[in-house]
Amino acid sequence: MNYQELIFDPQVIRRFDVNGPRYTSYPTADRFVEAFGADDYVRWLGQRTVGGIGKPLSLYVHIPFCNTICYYCACNKIITKDHGRSAKYIKYLGKEIAMQEAALDGSRDVVQLHFGGGTPTFLSNDEMRRLMDIIRKHFRLLPGGEYSIEVDPRKVDRETVKLLGELGFNRMSVGVQDFSPEVQVAVNRVQSLEETKLVIDSAREFGFKGISVDLIYGLPKQNVISFNHTLDEVLKLDPDRLSIYNYAHLPALAKPQRRINEADLPSPDARLQILQLAIRRLTEAGYVFIGMDHFAKPDDELAVAQRQGRLHRNFQGYSTHAEADLMAFGVSAIGKVGPSYCQNVRTLDEYYDRLDQGVLPVFRGIELNADDLLRRSIIQALMCHFELSIESIEIAHLIDFKSYFADELADLKEMEAGGLLSIDDQWISVLPRGRLLVRGIAMAFDRYLRTDRERVRYSKVI
């Protein structure tokens, strides 16, 4: 299959664009239950080598602090300039990391580490050193692993990038969103091309092997001409990966978005034109469409993993480490160990309080049943590879696909007639016209959505 194949059909998109989850997990985080708590998570940490198989580890650390607020942002964050708050947070992260590691069965070998937020680079150089020392005290970061950090170029200089390299980071995700001054003012994120270029050049100088740039389409004051200029500048920066996220305007759920003037948002048609332009420019420049909103150079690990059938999705997006157990630390962080997910409490006060009591700060989670595991494997295959072997699912899960999913297959008939996918006895294949709408196709297999048609909480697929 040629993963370059992607047909942008505005009529098909308008017809099938619905609100839906991003499927960084299945079941999605809004389905986690508070009946699953710290004890359940500890039990799964202690069963990692049952059957003699020890999976490698992936670690996620959530740093919630930001110096300033970006109006489009819906992340769990705390706006402050007070480093007393981050110093205290690192101390408590140390407690949580020690407690999780004490409950851990199996090896402490780590193949993937990601610092997200908030703004991980809010931390001072000393704080960053302290946190990495804590991690290395409890885990072994294997050579050749993928160690990534999200960077705000407005707060980072060459020396900081050098330090990050020395601490072991080898991948960097750089937030850009848009280079238009008018758009930047409208979202309260003024960031020059020069400071962005400095960070990316420094990362290359100090041996980072992967640089990713994040853009957002659908922001206030954005239009096709201004975004084309942003793409000109981004392509000159020559990142290994690009993410082009759809701005979801949900002011009822994300308070900062209330500061955005809705009249300044591009129309649905203008948004589609911006997305169409971005896809055309990136594919012409040689980037491969990985899925949803991700592009990568053909020799990037994501593109290689997709060609080899090893691509995976987790809470950081697309990943090459499908087999790893994910341990997560910090407020609101989500982990995945064995057939379970768990999420930490969302506020600092609750986080500190739980740890002071000697309890892990897990406030909800879920233990996957056989049906969840089956549907997760189907949704993963569709989201990552645009195709599904019916026979392999039947063998792995001991089901008769056609009878088990009779209702789902009936629901997909309209999309099949619309040219989004093809279904035969052996395969479900997402066609080039359906690639951008793969979330909508995956939704047909989401049992929770089938029993609950309340989709308002989700952003649009496109």
With both helix axes pointing from N to C terminus, report the angle between 125-138 and 83-102 in degrees, rounded to the nearest 10.
0
pTM of full prediction above 0.75: yes
**Does 433 count as an annotated binding residue?**
no
Average pLDDT of the chain to the nearest whole number: 92
Task: Give how far Cα 27 sits from Cα of 20, 31, 202, 335, 421, Å.
Answer: 13, 6, 39, 13, 23
- Long-range Cβ pairs for the range 424-432 (8 Å, 24+): 425/390, 426/389, 426/390, 426/391, 427/387, 427/388, 427/389, 427/390, 428/382, 428/387, 428/388, 428/390, 429/386, 429/387, 429/388, 430/382, 430/386, 430/387, 431/7, 432/5, 432/6, 432/7
Only one residue has tokens 């659908």, namely: 218
Range from 24-33, 57-66, 320-329 carrying the lowest mean pLDDT = 320-329
Pairing of strands 421-423, 427-430: antiparallel
**Does 96 count as an annotated binding residue?**
no
pLDDT band, very low/low/confident/very high, at 16 (cuts 50, 70, 90):
confident
> What is the number of helices (H) and of strands (E) in the chain?
18, 19
**Does 384 count as an annotated binding residue?**
no
The candidate with the shortest Cα–Cα distance to 363, out of 349, 383, 377, is 349
DSSP H helices in 48-153 = 83-102, 125-138
Q: Is 366 a residue whose pLDDT tops 50?
A: yes
**Does 24 count as an annotated binding residue?**
no
**Does 39 count as an annotated binding residue?**
no
Strand partners, 66: 79
Q: Is 1 a residue whose pLDDT tops 50?
A: no
Q: How many residues does the chain have?
A: 462
Pairing of strands 427-430, 387-389: antiparallel
- Domain layout of the chain by residue ranges: 1-27+369-462, 29-329
pLDDT 10s digits, 383-425: 999 999 999 999 999 999 999 999 999 999 999 999 999 999 9
**Does 66 count as an annotated binding residue?**
yes
CA distance 138 to 252: 40
Nearest 5°: CA angle at 22, between 16 and 25?
135
Q: Domain 29-329 sits in which CATH superfamily? A: tm_1862 like domain (3.80.30.20)
pLDDT band, very low/low/confident/very high, at 101 (cuts 50, 70, 90):
very high
**Does 189 count as an annotated binding residue?**
yes
Tokens of 85: 């708050």
CA distance 176 to 201: 15
Domain 1-27+369-462: CATH class, spelled out: mainly alpha
**Does 248 count as an annotated binding residue?**
yes
Range from 76-85, 139-148, 194-203, 233-242 carrying the lowest mean pLDDT = 76-85
Nearest 5°: CA angle at 55, between 53 and 56?
145
With both helix axes pointing from N to C terminus, report the angle between 348-356 and 83-102 in degrees, rounded to the nearest 10.
50
Q: Which residues contact 273 (CB under 8 A, 6 or more apart)?
A: 224
Quote the distance between the C-alpha of residue 38 and its chain's center. Answer: 24
**Does 82 count as an annotated binding residue?**
no
**Does 150 count as an annotated binding residue?**
yes
**Does 147 count as an annotated binding residue?**
no
